[in-house]
Structure 1
């Protein structure tokens, strides 16, 4: 990196004289970061805001922040936590030619936390747990993040729940996530009885999932009316989810994407859903007087057959998802006609 003093002396024009796309300078290299994150002192934030106002930036209000300043090819957002986010095609030049030399007084270009331009922008994410588990509920969770919340979640170690091998850690993370997002989340729990009722009504798992995702996102949108968009791990055709979203009367833009758990909001939702699924499965196990295994394995079938043998298929209906082949197998092999009604 060119030393700060040398870089400052060599430049013939400051950032604001470049005139955005009207400059004769070449555009930034595609490999240069377009998102930068800094921690500033209150005095530095106040000075930054004043200088941007003087330079003609459009200053907007910012939820949970001091200002949202918009200028040629760059957006600067300053949050009450002290975090300042700089993004846009001109972000690198803004940081190197103005923010570092004139506000920070040192060269410490801030892409330690650089990510895709919209990664930490305000948005919601949703994910589910229990879809492939015979016993227990289906849980769909949604969570809201913004540039203030996202770094906190990363420091907690939030990532796709499938990468968290310990159930106990997943439950702890779920509790910490709920605190970190300050309640701006939602959890939709479909007990086995409710799941079986809705599955019969929808006659299709993807339509049922779409309904649950839309319900969770609607609750987050109610808590954060300014939330502009949401991301969901892809599970069905776009039209299926779009119809469910429309029935909820939501105006936010919702996108499905494969492997969306890499997004911090979806990862947070994934862990919230898993934590609640584990809690509910444990409660059902206490009610049943036995440990209910996860998944749909041979161990699960054995447990289901034992429940039918001892208490009948109606008891199993209250603990499990009846459209799984496991239910028919358990009912056929472990029950007597007098004790079991299968409809």
Structure 2
């Protein structure tokens, strides 16, 4: 089994109390973490962790595997889970398509929808790689590294549908709804993958009425079981799709920055507004729709300082 650098489980209140006592005895250094009972770190063991008020325990660091296998499971949990996730949850290895998107909340850049098909062998490899939702990975460099690894996984197929700002604004003007655009994009990647492989199930995050996607699916796609769930990124196939979508989004945003000579930040912050105003000063307001999603309130904030 490959070394893991992260691990998540849920603890009962009595287990949280026992964990804190045990960590103190092992020489862990405690710290405050927002929304957590406590955080703790042991540099010698190369492990840091946070025990959240929700009951979730998150373990990270190069020493994660040893910490889980030699302390957490045998002494605290009383059962072996690491490496046996597929036994505890057989659905983890079933063939399926996972769908996710990137750029939905970003003023600049495209909306990118990605779909990933995995068979049993590919799902097993994703488990070994410790694939997780792209939003839990702060480094773009790491996103690109993991995306490269994903493309080398046997049995994994991917489809990526980038919707650039010009096309996005045209679609939004027609559909008047972001969820409708998402539904169209999700349907397209599912259809693209079904043209290459037979699959009975597709999983995505619950962003709106499931009928939006079903309506956009063509004849081939209407035979598939479509599952929408909150926090679908916890599914391996969806997590892989989120990484490939983020990679494509970051790549295209970087190219737009170079093309227009303005650093275009992610998100919709004050830095984004400042970049928008710089772009309008350099190229004119008519160019904003080539780099940004115009229905965002950010558009008005950008143009207020650049009338005409």
Partner residue in 1 for 2:117: 144
Distance in structure 2 (CA, Å) of the matches to 1:248 and 1:321: 31
Residue 331 of structure 1 and its aligned partner are, at CA, apart by: 1.7
Larger Rg: 1
The reply on whether 1:228 has 2:207 as its aligned counterpart is no
Distance in structure 2 (CA, Å) of the matches to 1:313 and 1:144: 41
Partner residue in 1 for 2:281: 309
Deviates more, 1:152-161 or 1:197-206: 152-161
The reply on whether 1:296 has 2:268 as its aligned counterpart is yes
Local SS of the residue matching 1:323 = coil
For the structure 1 residues 177 and 115, does the alpha-carbon distance in structure 2 shift closer, same or farther, using more than 3 Å as the test?
A: farther
Local SS of the residue matching 2:255 = helix
Distance in structure 2 (CA, Å) of the matches to 1:243 and 1:160: 27
The reply on whether 1:320 has 2:285 as its aligned counterpart is no
Partner residue in 2 for 1:265: 237
Local SS of the residue matching 1:327 = helix
Partner residue in 2 for 1:211: 184
> What does the per-residue CA deviation read over 1:243-282, in whole Å, with 9 as the maximum and x for residues that have no partner?
1225775321111000011110000001010011011111
Residue 288 of structure 1 and its aligned partner are, at CA, apart by: 1.1
Distance in structure 2 (CA, Å) of the matches to 1:123 and 1:173: 20
Distance in structure 2 (CA, Å) of the matches to 1:216 and 1:126: 8
Name the count of aligned residue pairs. 226
Kept in 2: contact 1:306–1:334 (CA 8 A):
no
Gaps in structure 1 of 5+ consecutive residues: 1-109, 338-343
For the structure 1 residues 183 and 289, does the alpha-carbon distance in structure 2 shift closer, same or farther, using more than 3 Å as the test?
A: farther
Residue 162 of structure 1 and its aligned partner are, at CA, apart by: 1.0
Partner residue in 2 for 1:333: 305
Deviates more, 1:233-242 or 1:275-284: 233-242
Distance in structure 2 (CA, Å) of the matches to 1:112 and 1:120: 9
Partner residue in 2 for 1:188: 161
